[in-house]
Structure 1
Amino acid sequence: MTIGEALKEEQKRLGLTSEAMAAGVITKGTYSKVVNGKLRLSSDLLVEILFKHNIDISDFFEMIKSTYMPKEKLIEEKLFSEMQQALNNHEVEKAEECLTKIKNQTSNKYLQQRAEITVAYLTNSTDKLSKNFKQAVVDELNNHSNWVNDLDALRLFNTALLILSSEKVEIEMNLFFIKLRVVLVKSF
């Protein structure tokens, strides 16, 4: 769904006319061109329209994601969701199938490592993960310059807590908070 199509959908949901949807932000003619795909809207004006009508930005972007997000990211997101569902429902076979898909369909190392850990967790075999694998996970986190702001790295960190010794968890948590402090200090 395009931005214009999503705006038209929200307009219909709200029961507004084109004029009411655009009022105070852009002209009715400009709005018409946007919803018909003949004109692009700046991000500032889009956000202004969304806020003006109390349209949830997350929901709006969810509507348009399949049109604008890179295909590889869409695949990763779908696979991540499938793996989460398998984990939440304790469905070992689905998790194993998802792991195979992840290995075959994406090059996202974080997602692959998380899937390995998830399957090991569901099959009660986390102790069978090799020391090299566990060290690779820790190295991935520690070699990342700013993983505190990287959602994939944070997810890996969260999942890695299942396989690391309590001593390693304590070390990684301390490193996490040190990196977080650095990020917070730099932002002020």
Structure 2
Amino acid sequence: MGFGQTLKRIRLNRNMSQEKIAAGLITQGTYSRIERDQLQLDVELFLKLLERLNISSNEFLFIHNNYQAIEHESIMKDFRDLEITLPETLNNHMRRLSIYLKRYPSSNLNKVFIAYQILYLYVVEGNIELAKQKASLVWSDFQKLDSWYIDDLILLNSLLILFPLDTAIEITTTALKRIDAYEHFEKDLTYLKIYFEMDLCVILIQQQKYELVLHKLNYIYENYKQKMSYQTLVALFTNRAICLFHLNKPVEEELTKLNLLLSLYGESSLLDSLLKIFKNHTIEMNK
């Protein structure tokens, strides 16, 4: 079924006539041919018709695909939703994307597959140096671009902790400015700001900048707590506990918050993993 049939379905559901939707744009006869898929739509006209129907292009495509995300978008959504990188999740996502790229080898999702490979090296194989080398090549390519779009920002964020501190700060500073340009976009991108800030905090912890990280984490919590997922909140509580420990301040309140939050969501295995991260930091401190 072509776009014309979907336009017709939406128009009828809006109780609009062909004359009304076409008025001032094209003749009713021309529009009728569009609905019968006898005339190819140019992008400018297509967007104007969608505006008349009060529907976004993303929602139109979703409806056109029988209320299912197209495969490309579904794969990208998996990547966007990758908040906590677990080996099993990485394997599943890489397998799905690999099958897709065999069918569409020229897809721009090749960049995403490279990002998955880098994360696999880092998380599963523990080959941190090679992961960092490959991440630096990705950054070299992005430095040549005049603009970064949403998927570019998501990809850079996924690799942020693999960059040196000065590079990570440069990427984060630039990314936050470019996210601001999307202030009036149909989707709230605050979550991306949170991700960049949180991942920069991880790098700063590795650099033992505990006072600075604690200040940044408190700022993130106070300004964005209403928009944070529970996974991001538990990462924040964990990192705040690490900073408090290294600053010789009480950590019990943060660990209690962490325990309560993950118990509420039934994430006992994730709680064990995060407590292990905290304990590893305490062991390093006591060596």
CA distance in structure 2 between the aligned counterparts of 1:170 and 1:77, rounded to whole angstroms: 29
Aligned-residue Cα RMSD (Å) equals: 3.7
Residues 117 and 126, structure 1, Cα contact 8 Å, conserved in 2: no
**Where do 5+ consecutive residues of structure 1 fail to align?**
67-73, 181-188
Does the C-alpha gap of structure 1 residues 142 and 65 become closer, same or farther in structure 2, counting only changes over 3 Å? farther
Residues 117 and 163, structure 1, Cα contact 8 Å, conserved in 2: no
CA distance in structure 2 between the aligned counterparts of 1:163 and 1:156, rounded to whole angstroms: 12
- The superposition leaves residues 27-51 of structure 1 with CA deviations (integer Å, 9 ceiling, x where unpaired) of 2221111101111233333333222
Q: Which residue of 1 aligns with 2:6?
A: 6
Residues 121 and 127, structure 2, Cα contact 8 Å, conserved in 1: yes
Q: TM (normalized to structure 2)?
A: 0.47
What code does the residue aligned with 1:133 have? A
DSSP-derived class of the 2:168 partner: helix
CA distance in structure 1 between the aligned counterparts of 2:11 and 2:177, rounded to whole angstroms: 46
1:98 equivalenced with 2:114 (yes/no): no
Does the C-alpha gap of structure 1 residues 82 and 171 become closer, same or farther in structure 2, counting only changes over 3 Å? closer
Does the C-alpha gap of structure 1 residues 157 and 24 become closer, same or farther in structure 2, counting only changes over 3 Å? same
- The equivalent position to 2:141 in structure 1, one of 140, 143, 147, is 143
Q: Which residue of 1 aligns with 2:75?
A: 79
Does the C-alpha gap of structure 1 residues 53 and 176 become closer, same or farther in structure 2, counting only changes over 3 Å? closer
DSSP-derived class of the 1:139 partner: helix
Does the C-alpha gap of structure 1 residues 60 and 139 become closer, same or farther in structure 2, counting only changes over 3 Å? same
CA distance in structure 2 between the aligned counterparts of 1:166 and 1:6, rounded to whole angstroms: 49
- The superposition leaves residues 44-87 of structure 1 with CA deviations (integer Å, 9 ceiling, x where unpaired) of 33333222342323322444579xxxxxxx644332323445x3
What code does the residue aligned with 2:15 have? G
What code does the residue aligned with 2:78 have? E
Per-residue deviation, 1:164:
3.5
By relative contact order (CA 8 Å, sep 6+), the higher-ranking structure is 1
1:155 equivalenced with 2:151 (yes/no): no
CA distance in structure 2 between the aligned counterparts of 1:103 and 1:88, rounded to whole angstroms: 21
CA distance in structure 2 between the aligned counterparts of 1:31 and 1:134, rounded to whole angstroms: 54
What code does the residue aligned with 2:156 have? F
Residues 4 and 36, structure 1, Cα contact 8 Å, conserved in 2: yes
Q: Which of these two proteins has the greater Rg computed from alpha carbons?
A: 2
Identity fraction in percent: 20
Does the C-alpha gap of structure 1 residues 174 and 82 become closer, same or farther in structure 2, counting only changes over 3 Å? closer
- The superposition leaves residues 91-140 of structure 1 with CA deviations (integer Å, 9 ceiling, x where unpaired) of 7534322222324432844212332455678xxx3791331222211222
Q: Which residue of 1 aligns with 2:17?
A: 17
- Of 28-37 and 57-66, the range deviating more from structure 2: 57-66
Per-residue deviation, 1:25:
2.3
Does the C-alpha gap of structure 1 residues 120 and 65 become closer, same or farther in structure 2, counting only changes over 3 Å? farther
- Of 168-177 and 131-140, the range deviating more from structure 2: 168-177
What code does the residue aligned with 1:136 have? K
Aligned residues, how many?
169
Per-residue deviation, 1:152:
4.2
1:131 equivalenced with 2:132 (yes/no): no
Per-residue deviation, 1:142:
1.7
